[in-house]
């Protein structure tokens, strides 16, 4: 390992809060060799009961360090403390869910006498670990995303190397250390912060059995294109989440949900509410109601209890959001609230009414505190506009009409459609992932655990 250090800062005041050592390629090369040998020699495999005991102990240790883990999420990731506590709860539940899902990881009997050719035989399948896992993660949920990638690998019996986002490595490091404290031998899980070049070399190495990626589409698709033959993968990217509102929607109940879904973690969520399609005669009033509530959100340092919207992950992201909003405003969008930066690291919660269809805020993932509202001519018009982009992740519809709800569920291009809830809703056992440019494969702890195993069939001639 070289002595290059990665400095970690609080993204609000940019003050240093820690550092981690970057791992060099020779070290990772050795780790991959060890991981390969662990997988190839069945005698090295950890039995299921031992993996379960380790995960149980990990969850207990996490509960004992609940406040410290929440503060660390807020301090390095900029997620408000109230939401960071929710993330820790989810992460603990996620570790426990790995145990539950492991009990459901079973094979099946294959009927063999359906034709004369198979008569006199019996067959069944079992599931085995797929091999060394490499996980590359994102900054916006620095503990829970690691649990979603590393927890299933440990449960499945796969050695795993995990590269956290460079902005938020401390939560990942804490989780890996808790696994060690719970009894997991270090060779089964390696904390691997590294440069992009080293990460690409690690991901594309032929010894990797499964690659788990959470991050930008540009990086994810690039890495997938360079994977070694035989490496399986799952990619989770982002979307430009659409919401359809029809004339029957319960507006009073809807507005708080849209504000939460749009401005949670300052919009730095892959399924944040971004495009809201409203009947033309309701668009201005709905947009103004969202703006009225968004303008009251308290923006500041995420470690302060009162903060509701924290900083963006770095000042360059504030610059980018500022440029996109300014572009939309110059092209005719009405700025109903926000529309300006509050400092080097923060941007005001912003609501735009009718930005142009080709503006960046209408076509690309903002990943910032910006919500756009558009007037539409009909439900058909709203669905067409919602489906107009090459990304497709989670979508939503607000309506009191069953026919409208079911039509949107049927016709929206999305992996999940929320009815009378915002697009950012998620529980950790549900299938979660994007279509088309938004990703490849399906996340969710049970689905990931299954992806990290492979089926083997035994055929016995009687």
Whether 275 and 206 map to the same domain: the answer is no
Q: Rounded mean pLDDT of the chain?
A: 95
**Is residue 441's pLDDT more than 60?**
yes
CB atoms within 10 A of CB 181: 12
Whether 230 and 275 map to the same domain: the answer is no
**Is residue 415's pLDDT more than 70?**
yes
What are 138-153's pLDDT values in tens digits? 999 999 999 999 999 9
Residue 370 lies in a domain: yes
What are 27-56's pLDDT values in tens digits? 999 999 999 999 999 999 999 999 999 999
Strands 370-376 and 275-279: parallel
Residue 13 lies in a domain: yes
Rounded Cα distance between 156 and 47, Å, is 10
Residue 303 lies in a domain: yes
Whether 22 and 152 map to the same domain: the answer is yes
pLDDT at res. 405: 96
**Is residue 438's pLDDT more than 90?**
no
Q: Which two tokens stand for residue 25?
A: 């390629």
Rounded Cα distance between 195 and 192, Å, is 10
Whether 254 and 222 map to the same domain: the answer is no
Whether 98 and 173 map to the same domain: the answer is yes
Q: Do 124 and 107 meet the contact criterion of CB atoms below 8 Å apart?
A: yes
Going from the C-alpha of 434 to that of each of 90, 413, 437, the distances in angstroms are 21, 10, 7
CATH number at residue 60: 3.40.605.10
Residue 432 lies in a domain: no
Going from the C-alpha of 10 to that of each of 81, 170, 299, 345, 366, the distances in angstroms are 13, 12, 15, 10, 22
What is the rounded average pLDDT of the residues 306-321? 96
pLDDT at res. 3: 63
For 286, the 3-state DSSP assignment is helix
Q: Do 374 and 275 meet the contact criterion of CB atoms below 8 Å apart?
A: yes
How many separate domains does the chain show? 2
Residue 433 lies in a domain: no
Whether 195 and 255 map to the same domain: the answer is no
pLDDT at res. 131: 96
What is the rounded average pLDDT of the residues 116-124? 94
Whether 172 and 257 map to the same domain: the answer is no
Q: In what order do the strands lie in the sheet with 242-245?
A: 334-337, 350-353, 370-376, 275-279, 242-245, 394-398, 416-419
What are 217-273's pLDDT values in tens digits? 899 999 999 999 999 999 999 899 999 999 999 999 999 999 999 999 999 999 999
Whether 297 and 393 map to the same domain: the answer is yes
What are 77-88's pLDDT values in tens digits? 999 999 999 999
Residue 334 lies in a domain: yes
Quick one: what percent of the chain has pLDDT higher than 90?
A: 93
Whether 274 and 381 map to the same domain: the answer is yes
- Can you give the residue range of the structural domain that contains 210? 5-237+438-461
Helix ranges restricted to H, 157-279: 169-181, 196-203, 217-225, 251-263
Whether 49 and 162 map to the same domain: the answer is yes
pLDDT at res. 431: 87
**Is residue 430's pLDDT more than 90?**
no
**Is residue 58's pLDDT more than 50?**
yes
**Is residue 1's pLDDT more than 80?**
no
Residue 337 lies in a domain: yes
Whether 278 and 387 map to the same domain: the answer is yes
Quick one: what percent of the chain has pLDDT higher than 70?
A: 99
Residue 91 lies in a domain: yes
pLDDT at res. 428: 87
pLDDT at res. 204: 97
What are 323-362's pLDDT values in tens digits? 999 999 999 999 999 999 999 999 999 999 999 999 999 9
CATH number at residue 402: 3.40.309.10
Whether 219 and 127 map to the same domain: the answer is yes
pLDDT band at residue 279 under the 50/70/90 scheme: very high
pLDDT band at residue 426 under the 50/70/90 scheme: confident
């Amino acid at each position: 390992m070289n002595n290059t250090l990665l400095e970690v800062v609080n993204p609000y005041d940019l003050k240093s809060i820690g550092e981690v050592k970057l791992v060099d390629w020779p070290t990772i090369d050795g780790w991959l060799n060890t991981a390969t040998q662990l997988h190839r020699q069945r005698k090295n495999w950890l039995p299921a009961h031992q993996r379960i005991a380790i995960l149980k102990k990990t969850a207990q240790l996490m509960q004992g360090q609940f406040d410290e883990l929440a503060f660390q999420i807020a301090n390095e990731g900029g997620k408000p403390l109230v939401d960071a506590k929710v993330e820790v709860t989810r992460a603990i539940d996620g570790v426990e869910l790995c145990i539950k899902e492991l009990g459901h990881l079973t094979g099946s009997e294959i009927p063999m006498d359906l034709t004369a050719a198979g008569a006199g035989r019996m067959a069944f399948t079992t599931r085995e670990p797929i091999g060394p896992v490499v996980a590359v993660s994102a900054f916006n949920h620095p503990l829970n995303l690691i649990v979603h990638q590393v927890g299933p690998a440990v449960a499945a019996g796969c050695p795993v190397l995990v590269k956290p986002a460079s902005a938020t490595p401390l939560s990942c490091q804490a989780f890996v250390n808790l696994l060690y404290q719970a009894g997991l031998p270090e060779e089964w899980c390696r904390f691997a912060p590294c440069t992009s070049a080293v990460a690409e070399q690690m991901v594309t190495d032929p010894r990797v059995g499964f690659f788990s990626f959470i991050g930008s589409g540009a990086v994810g698709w690039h890495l997938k294109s360079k994977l070694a033959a035989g490496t399986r993968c799952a990619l989770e990217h982002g979307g430009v989440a659409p919401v359809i509102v029809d004339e029957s929607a319960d507006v009073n109940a809807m507005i708080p949900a849209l504000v939460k879904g749009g401005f949670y973690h300052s919009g730095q969520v892959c399924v944040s509410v971004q495009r809201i399609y409203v009947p033309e005669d309701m668009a201005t009033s709905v947009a103004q109601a969202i703006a009225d509530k968004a303008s009251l959100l308290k923006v500041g340092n995420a470690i302060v209890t009162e903060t509701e919207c924290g900083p963006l992950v770095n000042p360059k992201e504030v610059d980018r959001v500022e440029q996109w909003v300014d572009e939309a405003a110059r092209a005719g969008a009405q700025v109903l609230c926000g529309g300006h930066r509050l400092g080097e690291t923060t941007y005001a919660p912003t609501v735009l009414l009718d930005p142009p269809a080709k503006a960046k805020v209408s076509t690309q993932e903002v990943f910032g505190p910006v919500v756009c509202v558009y007037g539409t001519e009909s439900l058909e018009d709203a669905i067409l506009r919602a489906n107009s982009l090459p990304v497709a992740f989670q979508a939503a519809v607000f309506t009191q009409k069953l026919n409208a709800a079911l039509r949107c569920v049927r016709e929206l291009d999305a992996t999940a459609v929320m009815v009378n809830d915002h697009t950012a809703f998620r529980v950790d056992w549900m299938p979660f992932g994007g279509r088309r440019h938004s990703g490849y494969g399906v996340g969710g702890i049970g689905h990931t655990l299954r992806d990290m195993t492979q089926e083997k069939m035994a055929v016995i001639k009687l």
